[in-house]
Amino acid sequence: MKATLAIPKNYNNVAAFHEKLAASKRILAVCGAGLSAASGLPTFRGAGGLWRNYDATELATPGAFRQDPVLVWLFYAYRRHMALKAKPNAGHHALAALAKKMPEFLCLSQNVDNLHPRANHPDDQLKLLHGSLFDIKCFNKSCGWIEHHNYADPFCPALVAASEDVEPGKALPLLDPKQKLAKIPESELPKCPSCKTGLQRPGVVWFGEQLDEQMLRDIDAWIDRHVVDMVLVIGTSSVVYPAAGYAEKARTEGHTSVVTVNLDAATPENLYQLEDEDFAFAGDAVVLLPQLLEPVIGPANGDGTYE
Protein backbone atom coordinates (compact mmCIF):
# COMPACT_ATOMS: atom_id res chain seq x y z
CA MET A 1 0.00 0.00 0.00
CA LYS A 2 1.06 3.56 -0.63
CA ALA A 3 2.67 5.14 2.43
CA THR A 4 2.11 8.81 1.56
CA LEU A 5 -0.48 10.93 -0.20
CA ALA A 6 2.01 12.38 -2.68
CA ILE A 7 1.24 12.23 -6.38
CA PRO A 8 4.08 10.57 -8.35
CA LYS A 9 6.00 13.36 -10.10
CA ASN A 10 6.27 11.43 -13.38
CA TYR A 11 2.70 10.16 -13.47
CA ASN A 12 2.02 11.66 -16.93
CA ASN A 13 5.59 11.82 -18.26
CA VAL A 14 5.52 10.12 -21.66
CA ALA A 15 9.31 9.75 -21.81
CA ALA A 16 9.35 8.01 -18.41
CA PHE A 17 6.52 5.75 -19.56
CA HIS A 18 8.42 4.86 -22.74
CA GLU A 19 11.45 3.95 -20.64
CA LYS A 20 9.32 1.56 -18.59
CA LEU A 21 7.66 0.21 -21.73
CA ALA A 22 11.03 -0.56 -23.31
CA ALA A 23 11.98 -2.62 -20.26
CA SER A 24 8.66 -4.49 -20.10
CA LYS A 25 8.35 -8.07 -21.28
CA ARG A 26 4.96 -9.00 -19.81
CA ILE A 27 2.04 -6.59 -20.12
CA LEU A 28 -1.59 -7.07 -19.10
CA ALA A 29 -4.38 -4.81 -20.40
CA VAL A 30 -7.85 -4.42 -18.87
CA CYS A 31 -10.29 -2.65 -21.20
CA GLY A 32 -13.72 -1.20 -20.54
CA ALA A 33 -16.61 0.47 -22.30
CA GLY A 34 -14.74 3.75 -22.76
CA LEU A 35 -12.72 2.13 -25.52
CA SER A 36 -15.88 1.12 -27.39
CA ALA A 37 -17.47 4.52 -26.82
CA ALA A 38 -14.84 6.01 -29.12
CA SER A 39 -16.30 3.83 -31.89
CA GLY A 40 -19.70 5.38 -31.28
CA LEU A 41 -21.18 2.71 -29.01
CA PRO A 42 -23.05 3.78 -25.85
CA THR A 43 -21.73 2.53 -22.53
CA PHE A 44 -25.18 1.97 -20.94
CA ARG A 45 -23.62 2.66 -17.55
CA GLY A 46 -23.97 5.74 -15.39
CA ALA A 47 -25.75 8.93 -16.43
CA GLY A 48 -27.82 8.53 -19.55
CA GLY A 49 -27.58 4.74 -19.52
CA LEU A 50 -31.22 4.27 -20.46
CA TRP A 51 -32.90 2.39 -23.29
CA ARG A 52 -36.56 3.25 -23.89
CA ASN A 53 -36.57 4.62 -20.30
CA TYR A 54 -35.43 1.24 -18.98
CA ASP A 55 -32.27 1.11 -16.92
CA ALA A 56 -30.18 -0.90 -19.33
CA THR A 57 -28.49 -2.82 -16.51
CA GLU A 58 -31.91 -4.07 -15.36
CA LEU A 59 -32.46 -5.66 -18.76
CA ALA A 60 -29.17 -7.55 -18.46
CA THR A 61 -30.37 -10.23 -16.03
CA PRO A 62 -31.74 -13.77 -16.31
CA GLY A 63 -34.84 -12.59 -14.45
CA ALA A 64 -35.55 -9.88 -17.02
CA PHE A 65 -35.21 -12.41 -19.83
CA ARG A 66 -37.46 -14.87 -18.04
CA GLN A 67 -40.11 -12.17 -17.54
CA ASP A 68 -39.97 -10.56 -20.99
CA PRO A 69 -37.60 -12.26 -23.44
CA VAL A 70 -38.91 -10.24 -26.37
CA LEU A 71 -38.06 -6.90 -24.74
CA VAL A 72 -34.60 -8.13 -23.72
CA TRP A 73 -33.95 -9.51 -27.19
CA LEU A 74 -34.98 -6.21 -28.81
CA PHE A 75 -32.42 -4.46 -26.61
CA TYR A 76 -29.68 -6.92 -27.51
CA ALA A 77 -30.62 -7.10 -31.18
CA TYR A 78 -30.29 -3.32 -31.31
CA ARG A 79 -26.87 -3.54 -29.64
CA ARG A 80 -25.82 -6.21 -32.14
CA HIS A 81 -26.90 -4.00 -35.01
CA MET A 82 -25.05 -0.96 -33.66
CA ALA A 83 -21.91 -3.01 -32.97
CA LEU A 84 -21.94 -4.34 -36.54
CA LYS A 85 -22.18 -0.79 -37.87
CA ALA A 86 -19.29 0.38 -35.68
CA LYS A 87 -15.66 -0.10 -36.64
CA PRO A 88 -12.63 -0.88 -34.48
CA ASN A 89 -10.88 2.36 -33.60
CA ALA A 90 -7.21 3.26 -33.39
CA GLY A 91 -7.09 2.06 -29.78
CA HIS A 92 -8.26 -1.43 -30.73
CA HIS A 93 -5.73 -1.53 -33.57
CA ALA A 94 -2.89 -0.36 -31.30
CA LEU A 95 -3.61 -3.13 -28.78
CA ALA A 96 -3.80 -5.74 -31.55
CA ALA A 97 -0.47 -4.51 -32.89
CA LEU A 98 1.07 -4.73 -29.40
CA ALA A 99 -0.12 -8.35 -29.12
CA LYS A 100 1.58 -9.23 -32.40
CA LYS A 101 4.83 -7.57 -31.31
CA MET A 102 4.83 -8.92 -27.75
CA PRO A 103 4.12 -12.63 -27.19
CA GLU A 104 3.70 -12.06 -23.45
CA PHE A 105 0.88 -9.51 -23.79
CA LEU A 106 -2.62 -10.45 -22.66
CA CYS A 107 -5.72 -8.28 -23.13
CA LEU A 108 -8.78 -8.68 -20.91
CA SER A 109 -11.85 -6.90 -22.26
CA GLN A 110 -15.18 -6.28 -20.57
CA ASN A 111 -16.67 -5.28 -23.93
CA VAL A 112 -19.07 -7.62 -25.73
CA ASP A 113 -19.09 -5.86 -29.12
CA ASN A 114 -16.38 -7.96 -30.84
CA LEU A 115 -14.42 -4.88 -31.90
CA HIS A 116 -11.19 -6.40 -30.54
CA PRO A 117 -11.45 -9.51 -32.75
CA ARG A 118 -12.45 -7.37 -35.73
CA ALA A 119 -9.20 -5.43 -35.23
CA ASN A 120 -7.45 -8.80 -35.75
CA HIS A 121 -6.35 -9.09 -32.13
CA PRO A 122 -4.85 -12.60 -31.80
CA ASP A 123 -7.41 -14.90 -30.17
CA ASP A 124 -4.88 -16.50 -27.82
CA GLN A 125 -3.97 -13.07 -26.39
CA LEU A 126 -7.54 -11.90 -25.80
CA LYS A 127 -10.05 -12.83 -23.10
CA LEU A 128 -13.61 -11.53 -23.48
CA LEU A 129 -14.57 -11.45 -19.81
CA HIS A 130 -18.27 -10.82 -20.33
CA GLY A 131 -18.79 -12.89 -23.46
CA SER A 132 -19.93 -11.67 -26.86
CA LEU A 133 -23.10 -10.29 -28.42
CA PHE A 134 -22.36 -12.58 -31.35
CA ASP A 135 -22.34 -15.81 -29.40
CA ILE A 136 -25.75 -17.39 -28.92
CA LYS A 137 -26.55 -19.99 -26.30
CA CYS A 138 -29.49 -21.82 -24.79
CA PHE A 139 -31.32 -20.23 -21.85
CA ASN A 140 -31.90 -23.69 -20.43
CA LYS A 141 -29.11 -24.14 -17.86
CA SER A 142 -29.08 -27.91 -18.30
CA CYS A 143 -28.31 -27.51 -22.01
CA GLY A 144 -24.79 -26.65 -23.11
CA TRP A 145 -25.58 -25.60 -26.69
CA ILE A 146 -23.72 -22.53 -27.94
CA GLU A 147 -23.16 -21.01 -31.37
CA HIS A 148 -20.17 -18.73 -31.93
CA HIS A 149 -19.81 -15.93 -34.46
CA ASN A 150 -23.49 -15.46 -35.29
CA TYR A 151 -23.62 -12.14 -37.15
CA ALA A 152 -27.20 -12.36 -38.44
CA ASP A 153 -28.77 -8.90 -38.59
CA PRO A 154 -31.62 -8.95 -37.81
CA PHE A 155 -31.04 -11.87 -35.49
CA CYS A 156 -34.42 -13.29 -36.47
CA PRO A 157 -37.36 -11.94 -38.54
CA ALA A 158 -39.36 -11.02 -35.44
CA LEU A 159 -36.63 -8.58 -34.33
CA VAL A 160 -36.32 -6.66 -37.60
CA ALA A 161 -37.30 -3.39 -35.86
CA ALA A 162 -34.00 -3.48 -33.97
CA SER A 163 -32.01 -3.45 -37.20
CA GLU A 164 -33.70 -0.49 -38.87
CA ASP A 165 -31.77 2.64 -39.73
CA VAL A 166 -33.19 6.13 -40.09
CA GLU A 167 -32.08 9.31 -41.73
CA PRO A 168 -29.66 11.51 -39.74
CA GLY A 169 -31.47 13.72 -37.27
CA LYS A 170 -34.53 11.49 -37.05
CA ALA A 171 -35.40 9.25 -34.13
CA LEU A 172 -35.64 5.51 -34.47
CA PRO A 173 -39.17 4.44 -33.45
CA LEU A 174 -37.74 1.54 -31.45
CA LEU A 175 -35.85 3.99 -29.22
CA ASP A 176 -38.78 6.34 -28.62
CA PRO A 177 -40.39 5.34 -25.30
CA LYS A 178 -43.52 7.28 -26.28
CA GLN A 179 -44.18 4.84 -29.11
CA LYS A 180 -45.54 1.47 -28.10
CA LEU A 181 -43.61 -1.54 -29.25
CA ALA A 182 -45.35 -3.79 -31.73
CA LYS A 183 -46.56 -6.96 -30.08
CA ILE A 184 -44.15 -9.80 -30.84
CA PRO A 185 -45.21 -13.27 -29.67
CA GLU A 186 -42.57 -15.10 -27.67
CA SER A 187 -43.16 -18.06 -29.96
CA GLU A 188 -41.44 -16.15 -32.77
CA LEU A 189 -38.12 -16.13 -30.92
CA PRO A 190 -35.85 -19.02 -31.96
CA LYS A 191 -35.62 -22.10 -29.78
CA CYS A 192 -32.47 -24.03 -29.03
CA PRO A 193 -31.74 -26.53 -31.85
CA SER A 194 -30.33 -29.01 -29.33
CA CYS A 195 -32.82 -29.33 -26.48
CA LYS A 196 -35.75 -27.93 -28.52
CA THR A 197 -37.24 -26.27 -25.42
CA GLY A 198 -35.00 -23.42 -24.23
CA LEU A 199 -35.04 -20.03 -25.93
CA GLN A 200 -31.88 -18.86 -27.61
CA ARG A 201 -30.28 -15.96 -25.70
CA PRO A 202 -27.28 -13.65 -26.13
CA GLY A 203 -24.00 -15.25 -25.09
CA VAL A 204 -23.08 -12.47 -22.68
CA VAL A 205 -22.59 -12.64 -18.94
CA TRP A 206 -25.60 -11.07 -17.27
CA PHE A 207 -25.71 -9.58 -13.79
CA GLY A 208 -26.07 -12.42 -11.32
CA GLU A 209 -24.22 -14.88 -13.55
CA GLN A 210 -20.71 -16.24 -13.14
CA LEU A 211 -17.88 -15.65 -15.57
CA ASP A 212 -16.47 -18.68 -17.33
CA GLU A 213 -14.47 -20.59 -14.72
CA GLN A 214 -11.91 -22.02 -17.12
CA MET A 215 -11.23 -18.56 -18.54
CA LEU A 216 -10.66 -17.19 -15.03
CA ARG A 217 -8.28 -20.02 -14.22
CA ASP A 218 -6.36 -19.34 -17.43
CA ILE A 219 -6.03 -15.64 -16.55
CA ASP A 220 -4.84 -16.43 -13.02
CA ALA A 221 -2.31 -18.91 -14.40
CA TRP A 222 -0.99 -16.29 -16.84
CA ILE A 223 -0.58 -13.72 -14.06
CA ASP A 224 1.07 -16.21 -11.70
CA ARG A 225 3.48 -17.60 -14.29
CA HIS A 226 5.92 -14.70 -14.05
CA VAL A 227 6.21 -11.08 -12.91
CA VAL A 228 3.93 -8.68 -14.78
CA ASP A 229 5.85 -5.53 -15.69
CA MET A 230 2.92 -3.31 -16.65
CA VAL A 231 -0.87 -3.23 -16.46
CA LEU A 232 -2.76 -0.98 -18.87
CA VAL A 233 -6.19 0.04 -17.52
CA ILE A 234 -8.07 1.48 -20.49
CA GLY A 235 -11.47 3.14 -20.67
CA THR A 236 -12.83 1.68 -17.45
CA SER A 237 -13.82 3.11 -14.09
CA SER A 238 -12.75 -0.16 -12.45
CA VAL A 239 -15.95 -0.80 -10.53
CA VAL A 240 -17.01 -4.18 -11.96
CA TYR A 241 -15.28 -7.24 -10.54
CA PRO A 242 -13.33 -9.34 -11.20
CA ALA A 243 -11.99 -7.00 -13.91
CA ALA A 244 -11.50 -4.18 -11.42
CA GLY A 245 -9.19 -6.31 -9.29
CA TYR A 246 -6.76 -7.52 -11.92
CA ALA A 247 -4.46 -4.50 -11.78
CA GLU A 248 -3.65 -5.08 -8.12
CA LYS A 249 -3.69 -8.85 -8.53
CA ALA A 250 -0.97 -8.55 -11.18
CA ARG A 251 1.08 -5.99 -9.23
CA THR A 252 4.47 -6.81 -7.82
CA GLU A 253 5.09 -4.04 -5.28
CA GLY A 254 7.81 -1.65 -6.38
CA HIS A 255 8.02 -3.11 -9.89
CA THR A 256 4.72 -3.30 -11.74
CA SER A 257 3.48 -0.04 -13.28
CA VAL A 258 -0.29 0.35 -13.44
CA VAL A 259 -1.01 2.72 -16.32
CA THR A 260 -4.47 4.29 -16.46
CA VAL A 261 -5.66 5.64 -19.81
CA ASN A 262 -9.07 7.17 -19.32
CA LEU A 263 -10.90 10.48 -19.60
CA ASP A 264 -10.93 10.91 -15.81
CA ALA A 265 -7.48 9.43 -15.11
CA ALA A 266 -6.07 12.70 -13.74
CA THR A 267 -8.72 13.55 -11.15
CA PRO A 268 -7.26 14.16 -7.67
CA GLU A 269 -9.12 11.13 -6.33
CA ASN A 270 -7.40 8.90 -8.88
CA LEU A 271 -3.96 10.51 -8.74
CA TYR A 272 -3.58 10.18 -4.98
CA GLN A 273 -4.13 6.42 -5.31
CA LEU A 274 -1.14 5.98 -7.61
CA GLU A 275 1.98 4.15 -6.51
CA ASP A 276 5.34 5.72 -7.34
CA GLU A 277 5.82 3.50 -10.37
CA ASP A 278 2.33 4.16 -11.81
CA PHE A 279 1.19 6.42 -14.64
CA ALA A 280 -2.08 8.14 -15.49
CA PHE A 281 -2.84 9.67 -18.86
CA ALA A 282 -6.10 11.60 -19.13
CA GLY A 283 -7.75 11.61 -22.53
CA ASP A 284 -9.22 9.49 -25.28
CA ALA A 285 -7.59 6.08 -25.68
CA VAL A 286 -8.04 6.39 -29.44
CA VAL A 287 -5.53 9.24 -29.42
CA LEU A 288 -3.32 8.19 -26.51
CA LEU A 289 -2.72 4.47 -27.11
CA PRO A 290 -1.09 4.83 -30.55
CA GLN A 291 1.18 7.55 -29.12
CA LEU A 292 2.05 5.69 -25.93
CA LEU A 293 2.74 2.37 -27.65
CA GLU A 294 4.47 3.73 -30.75
CA PRO A 295 8.04 2.81 -29.65
CA VAL A 296 6.96 -0.86 -29.77
CA ILE A 297 4.29 -0.99 -32.48
CA GLY A 298 5.57 1.77 -34.75
CA PRO A 299 3.49 4.49 -36.45
CA ALA A 300 -0.02 3.69 -37.62
CA ASN A 301 -1.18 3.76 -41.21
CA GLY A 302 -3.44 6.58 -42.27
CA ASP A 303 -6.53 4.56 -41.38
CA GLY A 304 -5.27 3.73 -37.87
CA THR A 305 -4.26 0.16 -38.69
CA TYR A 306 -0.81 -1.42 -38.51
CA GLU A 307 -0.97 -3.96 -41.32
The β-bridge partners of 107 are: 29, 126
Is 143 marked within a binding site?
A: yes
Residue 18 a catalytic site member: no
Whole-angstrom CA distances from 252 to 210, 264, 270, 290 are: 27, 25, 20, 26
Report the relative pairing of strands 279-282 and 146-147 from DSSP bridges: unpaired
Is 156 marked within a binding site?
A: no
Is 195 marked within a binding site?
A: yes
Three-class SS of 115-145 = HHHHCCCCHHHEEECCEEEEEEEECCCCCCC
Q: Which of 81, 130, 148, 226 is catalytic?
A: 130
Give residues with Cβ within 8 angstroms of 65, minimum separation 6. Answer: 72, 139, 199, 201, 206
Is 192 marked within a binding site?
A: yes
- Count of alpha carbons within 13 Å of 93, Cβ hemisphere only? 21
Residues marked active site are found at 130
Feature table: binding site for Zn(2+): 138, 143, 192, 195
Question: Residues at the annotated binding site?
Answer: 138, 143, 192, 195
